[in-house]
Chains A and B, each alone.
Chain A
Amino acid sequence: DAGVIQSPRHEVTEMGQEVTLRCKPISGHNSLFWYRQTMMRGLELLIYFNNNVPIDDSGMPEDRFSAKMPNASFSTLKIQPSEPRDSAVYFCASSSRVAGGPLLTDTQYFGPGTRLTVL
Chain B
Amino acid sequence: AQTVTQSQPEMSVQEAETVTLSCTYDTSESDYYLFWYKQPPSRQMILVIRQEAYKQQNATENRFSVNFQKAAKSFSLKISDSQLGDAAMYFCAWCNFNKFYFGSGTKLNVKP
Q: What's the Cα separation between A61 and B100 when bound, in Å?
A: 15
* A54 interface residue per 8 A CB criterion: no
Supposing A42-B102, A42-B103, A112-B42 touch, asked if A102 and B97 sit within 8 A by C-beta, the answer is yes
CB distance from A48 to the nearest CB of B (A): 8
Q: What's the Cα separation between A105 and B50 when bound, in Å?
A: 9
How big is chain B's contact interface, by range?
20 to 34
Interface size on A, residues (CB 8 A): 21
Q: What's the Cα separation between A107 and B52 when bound, in Å?
A: 13
Which of the residues A102, A109, A110 comes within 8 Å of B96, measured between beta carbons? A102
Residues of chain A touching chain B, judged by Cβ–Cβ distance below 8 Å, are 42-45, 55-56, 89, 91, 93, 101-105, 107-113
Given contacts A43-B93, A93-B45, A108-B45, 14 further A-B contacts (CB under 8 A): A42-B102, A44-B102, A45-B100, A56-B98, A89-B43, A101-B33, A102-B96, A103-B97, A104-B97, A104-B99, A104-B100, A110-B46, A111-B44, A113-B43
